[in-house]
Amino acid sequence: MSPWGLAGSGDARPRPSPGVVPRTPRAGTLPGRFRRPVTADRCLQPSRLARPSRYARVMDTYERILKLRAIRDYEDRMLSDEDLNKILEAARWTGSSKNLQNWSFVVVSDPAQKNRLAAAGNFTVPITNAPVAVAIVEEPGGYEFDSGRVAQNIMLAADAIGVASCPITLHRGELAGEVLGLPEGRRCRYAISLGYPAPGAGPARFGGRKPMGDLVHYDRY
C-alpha cells in the first residue's frame, strides 16, 4: 500500500520522503489546482446557498424514481399550458436508439375524443378521468423499448412538477390509430393520462417489491 492509500506499483503519484509530513494548505485555501481563497462572503453568496448540492439533486432524483406511482383520480380542472409543455419538453429530450427519436405525441383533451381513445384499451378509465392524455406514437423504424423510455420520462417529469400520471396500454392498436388519424406505418399502443391529483388520490393498491435476491442474477440465470 502506498503512502497515498493506493495499492500497486503502478501508482505514479509523487510520494513524500520518509519522515517528511506533506505540507498542509494555508488556512482559507484549497489544495492543488483549487488554491482560490475561500472566504465567508463567497460561501454566503445567494447563488451558492440557493443551488442544491450535487448529492441532494441525485438523491431527489433517486427518491422520485422509487416513490413514483400511477395515480388514476384527478382534479376537475385543465392542466396548465406551462406544465403540459414542461412535460412534453422532457419527453422530447428522452434518449433513443441511435438517436432516431422515432416518436411523436398526440395530446388529447377533447372529452369525446378521450372516450373514443379509451375504447381502444381494456383498462382505460384514467384516460376519461384525466383532463389530458398523451398518446405515444411510434414512427416507422422505431423501437418499442424507446416508447417505454419516453413514457417513464413523461411520468417522472410530471411528478416533479406536481402532476399525477398513469400509463395506459391501448390493446386495439388499429382502433387507436384510426381515432388519432395516424398516417400509414405509424402505431400507438400506449398513452399517459395526466392531471392534478385529486385530494386523497393514491395508487389503486399499495404493493411492495420482490426481494432483490429473486430478481438479480450475476453472469448466468
Q: What is the pLDDT of residues 148-168, one digit of tens each?
A: 999 999 999 999 999 999 999
Q: What is the mean pLDDT of residues 77-98?
A: 96
CA dist 129 and 140 (Å) reads 31
98 has pLDDT over 80: yes
* Mean pLDDT over each residue of the chain, to the nearest integer: 83
pLDDT tens-digit series, residues 47-82: 444 566 776 776 788 998 989 999 999 999 999 999
Give per-residue pLDDT as tens, 157-204. Answer: 999 999 999 999 999 999 999 999 999 999 999 999 999 999 988 876
User: What span, in angstroms and rounded, lies between the C-alpha atoms of 130 and 195?
Assistant: 5
pLDDT category, 218, cuts 50, 70, 90? Answer: very high
Per-residue pLDDT tens digits for 134-153:
999 999 988 889 999 999 99
Query: Would you give the distance in Å from CA 9 to the centre of its chain?
Result: 43
Category of 219 on φ-ψ map: left (φ > 0), alpha (ψ -120 to 50) or beta: left
The residue ranking higher by pLDDT, 121 or 16, is 121
Question: How far apart are alpha carbons 105 and 182 in whole angstroms?
Answer: 11
Contacts of 111 (CB under 8 A, 6+ apart): 128
pLDDT in tens, 6-52: 444 444 455 555 555 555 545 544 444 444 444 444 444 444 445 66
Q: Distance between CA atoms of 135 and 190, rounded to whole angstroms? A: 6
pLDDT at 201: 86
pLDDT at 18: 58
pLDDT of the residue at 22 = 53
pLDDT at position 104 is 96
Phi, psi of 74 (to 5 degrees): -130, 160
Torsion sign, CA atoms 108, 174, 72, 147? negative
Cα-Cα-Cα-Cα torsion 211, 212, 213, 216, nearest 10 degrees, comes to 140
Buried b (16+ CB within 10 A) or exposed e, 173-188: bebbbebbebeeebbb
pLDDT above 70: percentage of residues in the chain = 74
149: DSSP letter: H
C-alpha cell at 213: 435476491
What pLDDT does 6 receive? Answer: 43
Domains and CATH numbers, the chain: 70-195 (3.40.109.10)
